């Protein structure tokens, strides 16, 4: 039987990493540890409460105990300014390991079996996004652009998440920050960030265990070749406007009988029938030249049968073998790329995590370090949402994510809890839920 996974256990890899971080402070005034600084920041993100630490300071004065200590293991509660000063020098790469430790902790559990059924492995969606933008505040890690004679500064990041069709939870993996690279002549890009991510993290998986999902930006030979070299599959969106050579070849094959295969599937949607038309072809050149990588292509068009309305249309390139048996699974995986954006980025930006909020910019690495801690907090909630029956029941009973976090904030403001399990049990009984 799998050992029970608690918040305390999920926090252990982060605590160990924070304890091992070098302390750049000079002098003897080291009242607050790097561990306290990192866990303090994470607690704010985990509770979705910028004032969480302040309320716990007040509780400490009233009761001699507080939830920051009992829930997250803090020894002392530093101020926001002290947290920023301590974390600013920390390189963002230092917080990559806790993501993998948490993923390794849960990846063999039965709750994740459906995440690796399709195509026989993990689907990892990658997508670039912005997490800070300003015309005034900037640092050495910012990406600078010029718009209408005004400088704009932004922090950008390549997000990676394990996803699966039909699953409302994604598991966030270490991000790759899009920042100026030492010795590089060109400004960093999303494509360069994906290449770094593949090189750094492909060894975390068995050969050919992963299928990367990405948009049309990455559907080009250098990225595809690197993925294959690192023994990773890919399914990338492929648009005609940016892949002229491939589509020229495809249109030639369309004139040959059997050159492009086709399959149609009818699907009942509860109110109407849907027609799903799959088309595919193999060994198409990704670019001009004798050294062009040959890839397989498949397209999907979804029509509402009674009206003829087109509901969906897209196409992908892949190294997976495409056939009548596999084309549906490949298209389903390709469509799952949106899981990373809908269940990942959208939740982070619009469901209380305030992904784009400036929690502290700093002069060195602070903005990226804080984002890493925010993503770790999100990952911990995602894991509990997948494997913890009480957590699941409470979330379902409260109805919305917002109500769930409002309840957490209110309860921890007025009551002290021995640990996270005590808090969940209090909510479970308060909602008069029945054990599953």
| 138-150: average pLDDT | 72
Do 13 and 81 share a structural domain?
A: yes
| Total number of domains in the chain | 2
Establish if 344 belongs to a structural domain. no
Establish if 32 belongs to a structural domain. yes
Do 5 and 93 share a structural domain?
A: yes
Establish if 220 belongs to a structural domain. no
pLDDT of residue 352: 63
Both tokens assigned to 249: 């070849």
| DSSP character string of 82-93 | HHHHHHTTS-GG
Q: Say if residue 355's pLDDT is above 50.
A: yes
Using 50, 70 and 90 to split pLDDT, how confident is the model at 1?
A: very low
| DSSP character string of 189-245 | -HHHHHHHHHHHHGGGS-TT-EEEEE-GGG-SHHHHHHHHHTT-EEEEE--GGG-HH
Establish if 342 belongs to a structural domain. no
Q: Which among 247, 227, 246 is positioned nearest to 235, based on CA atoms?
A: 227
Establish if 262 belongs to a structural domain. yes
Last residue of a domain, one of 307, 322, 337: 322
Q: Say if residue 385's pLDDT is above 60.
A: yes
Establish if 118 belongs to a structural domain. no
Do 374 and 318 share a structural domain?
A: no
- Work out the burial of residue 30: count CB atoms within 10 Å of its CB; fewer than 13 is exposed, 13-18 middle, 19 or more buried: exposed
- CA 179, chain centre distance (Å): 18
Dihedral, CA of residue 148, residue 150, residue 151 and residue 157, to nearest 10: -50
User: Are 51 and 359 a contacting pair, CB within 8 Å?
Assistant: no
Last residue of a domain, one of 322, 348, 374: 322
The rounded distance, in Å, linking the Cα atoms of 392 and 407 is: 15
Both tokens assigned to 336: 């799952």
Model confidence pLDDT, tens digit, residues 171-230: 999 999 998 665 455 667 899 999 999 999 999 999 999 999 999 999 999 999 999 999
Do 362 and 299 share a structural domain?
A: no
DSSP, collapsed to helix, strand or coil, labels residue 72 as helix
Do 66 and 6 share a structural domain?
A: yes
Mean pLDDT of the chain: 91
Establish if 367 belongs to a structural domain. yes
Using 50, 70 and 90 to split pLDDT, how confident is the model at 150?
A: confident
Model confidence pLDDT, tens digit, residues 22-53: 877 666 667 889 999 999 999 999 999 999 99
Model confidence pLDDT, tens digit, residues 265-286: 999 999 999 999 999 999 999 9
Give this prediction's pTM.
0.92
- Core vs surface per residue 314-351: b (16+ CB within 10 A) or e: bbbbbbbebeeebbebbbbbbbbbbbbbebbbebbbee
Do 1 and 77 share a structural domain?
A: yes
DSSP 97: H
Do 317 and 365 share a structural domain?
A: no
Q: Which among 166, 355, 326, 167 is positioned nearest to 261, based on CA atoms?
A: 326
The rounded distance, in Å, linking the Cα atoms of 318 and 212 is: 10
| 113-129: average pLDDT | 93
Last residue of a domain, one of 322, 349, 377: 322
Q: Which domain holds residue 19?
A: 1-102+358-436
Using 50, 70 and 90 to split pLDDT, how confident is the model at 349?
A: confident
Do 310 and 253 share a structural domain?
A: yes
Q: Say if residue 262's pLDDT is above 70.
A: yes
Q: Are strands 273-285 and 171-178 parallel, antiparallel or unpaired?
A: unpaired
Establish if 280 belongs to a structural domain. yes
Do 93 and 6 share a structural domain?
A: yes
| 132-155: average pLDDT | 72
């Amino acid at each position: 039987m799998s050992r029970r996974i608690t918040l305390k256990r999920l926090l252990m890899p982060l605590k160990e990493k924070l304890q091992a971080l070098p302390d750049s402070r000079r002098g003897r005034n080291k009242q607050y540890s790097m561990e306290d600084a990192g866990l303090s920041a994470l607690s704010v993100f985990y509770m979705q409460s910028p004032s969480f630490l302040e309320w716990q300071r007040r509780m400490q004065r009233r009761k001699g105990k507080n939830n920051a200590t009992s829930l997250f293991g803090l020894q002392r509660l530093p101020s926001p300014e002290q947290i920023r000063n301590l974390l600013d020098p920390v390189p963002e790469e230092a917080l990559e390991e806790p993501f993998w430790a948490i993923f390794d902790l849960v990846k063999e559990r039965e709750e994740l079996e459906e995440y690796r059924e399709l195509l026989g492995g993990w689907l990892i969606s990658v997508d670039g996004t912005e997490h800070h933008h300003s015309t005034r505040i900037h640092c050495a890690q910012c990406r600078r652009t010029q718009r209408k004679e005004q400088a704009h500064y932004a922090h950008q990041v390549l997000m990676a998440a394990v996803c699966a069709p039909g699953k409302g939870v994604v598991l966030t993996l270490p991000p790759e920050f899009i920042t100026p690279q030492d010795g590089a002549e060109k400004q960093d890009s999303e494509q360069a960030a994906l290449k770094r991510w593949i090189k750094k993290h492909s060894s975390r998986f068995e050969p050919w265990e992963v299928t990367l999902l990405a948009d049309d930006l990455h559907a080009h030979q250098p990225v595809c070749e690197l993925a294959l070299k690192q023994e990773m599959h890919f399914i990338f969106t492929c648009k005609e406007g940016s892949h002229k050579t491939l589509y020229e070849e495809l249109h030639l094959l369309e004139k040959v009988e059997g050159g492009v295969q086709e399959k149609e599937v009818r699907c009942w949607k509860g109110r109407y029938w849907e027609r799903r038309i799959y088309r595919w072809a193999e060994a198409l050149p990704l670019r001009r030249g004798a050294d062009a990588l040959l890839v397989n292509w498949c397209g999907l068009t979804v029509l509402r049968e009674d009206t003829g309305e087109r509901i969906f249309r897209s196409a992908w390139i892949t190294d997976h073998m495409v056939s009548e048996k596999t084309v549906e699974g490949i298209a389903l995986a390709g469509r799952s790329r949106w899981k990373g954006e809908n269940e990942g980025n959208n939740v982070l930006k619009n469901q209380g995590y305030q992904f784009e909020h400036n929690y502290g910019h700093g002069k060195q690495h602070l903005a990226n370090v804080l984002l890493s801690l925010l993503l770790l907090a999100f990952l911990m909630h995602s894991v509990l949402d997948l494997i913890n029956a009480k957590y699941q029941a409470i979330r379902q009973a409260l109805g919305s994510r917002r109500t769930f976090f409002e309840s957490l904030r209110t309860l921890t403001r007025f009551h002290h809890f021995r640990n996270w399990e005590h808090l969940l049990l209090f909510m479970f009984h308060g909602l008069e839920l029945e054990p599953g």
